Amino acid sequence: MQINTFWKILLKIIGLWLLFSCISIIPQFYSTLSFTNGNLNTESLLMIWLMLIVSIIIYILIIRLFLFKTEWLVEKLKLEKNFNEDRIDLNIKSSTVLTIAIIVIGGLMIAESFPNFCSRLFNFLQQKALIKDYPDSHWLVYHFLKIIIGYLLLTNGKRLAKYIEKESSEEKKPNA
């Protein structure tokens, strides 16, 4: 495996981790709104929405850079310089490493969210409240969706890896 390929795989794995960790932004901003106790002025609301939009834009740019512009990132950061050899002795395809990383990330998402989901579901059932009256309903939904996304990553890791590889190879090709 080339040093360049190793760095590209590592940067794509970091990009995937960032992609799935940025999902938590939405319920965090919803929690911010719930702390206002109904006394929300338009200035605060605009500031919260502005911070949300800026955060999402920054995440999208960083994720795009890490997942689809890895060649450019390796060049700019000069990651392949200062190595004694040009190759690392690994006989494994980059798509296989990416698939394994996706499956591991999916498993970690399930392992992280399942206990939280069960705890919040237990609290919800104890309160015998409607879902709209339950104060932590957004976190309950968030952890449920995170479990579903983790399961989909576990079962579709190979397809996602192929998509990422295809998109990043299309980004390299100059348009005619």
- Tell me the C-alpha to C-alpha distance, in Å, between residue 170 and each of 137, 165, 166, 167, 173: 41, 9, 6, 5, 5
Residue 33 has pLDDT above 70, yes or no: no
Q: Which of 21-25, 87-91, 130-134, 153-157 ranks highest by mean pLDDT?
A: 153-157
Q: Which residue has the tokens 């700019």?
A: 76
Of 35-44, 46-55, 93-102, the one with minimum mean pLDDT is 35-44
In this structure, are residues 70 and 12 in contact, taking their beta carbons and an 8 Å threshold? yes
Q: Is residue 111 packed enough to be buried (19+ CB in 10 Å), middle (13-18) or exposed (0-12)?
A: exposed
Q: What percentage of residues in the chain have a pLDDT greater than 90?
A: 24
pLDDT digits over 72-120, tens only?
998 898 888 877 777 777 788 888 888 999 999 999 999 999 999 999 8
Q: Which token pair is 145?
A: 């969706």
pTM of the model: 0.72
In this structure, are residues 161 and 155 in contact, taking their beta carbons and an 8 Å threshold? no
CA 102 to CA 99: how far, in whole Å? 5
Structural domain including 10 reads 3-172
The number of distinct structural domains making up the chain is: 1
